[in-house]
Amino acid sequence: MHPELYFIYDSHCPWSYVATPLVNAIRESFPEMEIHIWHCAHYDGRDCAGFSQIKEAEKQGLQKFGQEHIRYADSPKNAIVAANFMAWLQEKQTDKALPVLNALQKEHFVEGNPFGCKNDFAHIISEFKLSPPKKIFKDTLSNEALYQQSDVQELQEFMQTTAFPALLLTNGDSAILLEHAGYLKSPQNLVKEVRKLIE
Q: Residue 2: its pLDDT value, please?
A: 85
Q: Yes or no: say if 16 and 9 are a contact pair by the CB < 8 Å rule.
A: yes
- The mean pLDDT of 63-67, rounded to a whole number, is 97
d(CA 115, CA 104): 8
On the question of pLDDT at 1 being above 80, the answer is no
- The mean pLDDT of 54-67, rounded to a whole number, is 96
- Domain layout of the chain by residue ranges: 165-199
Condensed to tens digits (0 to 9), the pLDDT of residues 71-101 reads 999 999 999 999 999 999 999 999 999 999 9
Q: Residue 172: its pLDDT value, please?
A: 87
Condensed to tens digits (0 to 9), the pLDDT of residues 90-135 reads 999 999 999 999 999 999 999 999 999 999 999 999 999 999 999 9
Condensed to tens digits (0 to 9), the pLDDT of residues 5-57 reads 999 999 999 999 999 999 999 999 999 999 999 999 999 999 999 999 999 99
Phi, psi of 85 (to 5 degrees): -60, -45
CB atoms within 10 A of CB 63: 18
